[in-house]
Amino acid sequence: MSDVYAQPAAAAQPVTTGDLSQYTTLRLGGPAGRIVTATSTEEIVARVREAGEEILLLAGGSNVVIGDVGFPGTVVLVRSRGLRVLAEDEQTVTVRVEAGEPWDDLVAATVQNGWSGLECLSGIPGSTGATPIQNVGAYGQEVAETITGVQVYDRVAGAVGRVAAVDCGFAYRSSIFKYSERWVVLSVDFRLARSPLSGPVRYAELARALDVEVGDRVPLAQARATVLRLRAGKGMVLDPADPDTRSVGSFFTNPVLDGAGYELLRQRAAEVGEPPAWPGAGDVVKVSAAWLIDKAGFGKGHPGPEGVAISSKHTLALTNPTGAASTQALITLARDIRDTVHARFGVTLHPEPVLINCTL
């Protein structure tokens, strides 16, 4: 194994208390019972073992909505860092990345090193350890395509182990790790191609922005820069100067319907147009949640209580632009959107972030 960049030496970390809003991109969340920091794999395991049953792990805080009551147990801030090469040959390189490594730092490093496979996932906030949990994807790439295994602490067995990719249960924005308290992600292994070019561009919007055909390849740096520009235009790249980025990104997943369900949607939507859709494996169709939200009357900038709002740049993002709202206000807006979309189109929207001590 060789270090591409190494994890810093761990130091003793104090136990604190405080408002969890400072650890989430939404800037929402009530108080914690106690907050501890873990800067290495060993510390993560130790902190989890010490904490007992009531525990919440937070890294980037970009895919979580924490209720106003906060979390009464122990919050472990995952701050492990580092990337090392496990194996390499002329065509591929396999790297192990610590759970707390900021995701976009990793993507930038892969592009710089000429490793292809993550470039279209540029600009996504959060940590590397969070990516297998919801099978992060964007612009035609998903992490499931490059992950070979996930190192975990199994709280049931009380042991550290490795879950091979085939056993991770990867699906659209899901895995065995999501909504499970059993597994604590410690690090993630990725197998990437040695290539100066991106993978085939699959996403039509990205292909148009690159001025190439779907299926073409472009230089890695060009793919990354274009994705960053597209995401920034939607308020999906964290920017302290942009209040639209005080969000969890897409709040709802795109609904996946069977053939009959999609035909019913088309009938109910006939007056407003053809729902954008993408066929999946078997008799399923993925439809655009953003389109459903917009056609149900919730356009960009739509206001909610206490200053929360739909992003002025993207209808899928719910924002806390002033940083002064409550989680309940955000949930109220999300519930109104979900219920109105269902009443209008008969389709139920499901939240993408994990909800902690709050319900939709």
List the one residue out of 144, 208, 219 whose CA is nearest residue 177: 144
pLDDT in tens, 86-110: 999 999 999 999 999 999 999 999 9
**What residues does 191 pair with on adjacent strands?**
94
b/e per residue, 201-216, with b = 16+ CB within 10 A? Answer: bebeebbebbebeeee
Among 47, 79, 81, 173, the active-site one is 173
274 is catalytic: no
- Check residue 281 and give its pLDDT: 80
263 is catalytic: no
Among 101, 119, 142, 352, the active-site one is 352
Percent of the chain with pLDDT over 90: 91
pLDDT in tens, 321-358: 999 999 999 999 999 999 999 999 999 999 999 999 99
What whole-number distance in Å separates Cα of residue 250 and Cα of residue 350? 11
- Check residue 280 and give its pLDDT: 83
SS3 of residue 166 by DSSP? helix
What whole-number distance in Å separates Cα of residue 206 and Cα of residue 154? 39
SS3 of residue 110 by DSSP? helix
List the one residue out of 132, 149, 160, 128 whose CA is nearest residue 45: 160
Among 122, 247, 250, 326, the active-site one is 250
Average pLDDT, the chain: 94
pTM: 0.91
- 34 has a pLDDT exceeding 50: yes
pLDDT in tens, 121-170: 999 999 999 999 999 999 999 999 999 999 999 999 999 999 999 999 99
pLDDT in tens, 200-236: 999 999 999 999 999 999 999 999 999 999 999 999 9
